[in-house]
Amino acid sequence: MIRKLLITSMAVLMMACGGKDAPPAPESALLVFPEENSECTTGTSLNDSQSQVTFRWNASKNTDRYTVTVVNLETNSSQNISTVSTSANISIAKGAPFSWFVTSRNNDSEESATSETWLFYNAGTETTYAPFPVQLVYPESGSTVQKDIANEVVLEWSGADVDNDIETFEVYFSETTPPTTLVGTNAAFNMELAVSVESGTVYYWKVITTDSEGNTSDSGVFDFRVY
């Protein structure tokens, strides 16, 4: 009888100490509008330089609130709007390239989930648009990487253009910033370039994108260290 009481007591204690299950982590939202690599023409004009654009996305599971982040790719300035809705009205510059993404959050969890990042141009008076500044793929800026057996690192990026008329990517690479040494000019379909490196050295690189109209965009400077 005593043994049964002890077993029962231990079971109750184990249940009491077990705690609650962890809250479910939020899932990533699916972006809807402005569409990826598009020209946004539906904004409401506020003045000569600004228009209000409605950003929309689909609801994600286990999510109580969202944070919309919109980045002006010309100035690298960002806006962050928190909302419980699946849309947000944001005033942004006309005739400028932007990136945007949505972060999903749960009030009972410290975890968050981030959507894809989409690029778009907010319509202005332009009839042709410069390419989007390329997006870094590899190496991650600020990272330390291993060179290959040929003492090289392959630089990788992603380029896009509303007019779909990119012609070249010019890659500048050096040990100083900003990099001024042109190490390669790639055609539109080729978005990687192998560069020679030495161990224990920090390198800086950027990509200038040019389209058929002569419009250009500058990626800004990335950097990495080699083991």
CATH number of 31-122: 2.60.40.10
Q: What is the dihedral of CA 180, 186, 189, 192, to 10 degrees?
A: -60
pLDDT in the model for residue 19:
53
pLDDT tens across the length of the chain (227 residues): 555 544 455 554 555 455 567 788 999 999 999 999 999 999 999 999 999 999 999 999 999 999 999 999 999 999 999 999 999 999 999 999 999 999 999 999 899 999 999 999 999 887 788 999 999 999 999 999 999 999 999 999 999 999 899 999 999 999 999 999 999 999 999 999 999 999 999 999 999 999 999 999 999 999 999 99
Q: Which helix (H) or strand (E) holds 4?
A: helix 2-17
Alpha-carbon distance of 144 to 34, in angstroms, equals: 35
pLDDT in the model for residue 127:
72
Ranges for all domains in the chain classified under CATH 2.60.40.10? 31-122, 135-226
Class of domain 135-226: mainly beta
What is the reported pTM? 0.81
Q: What is the dihedral of CA 154, 158, 159, 162, to 10 degrees?
A: 170
Q: What is the dihedral of CA 135, 139, 144, 150, to 10 degrees?
A: -160
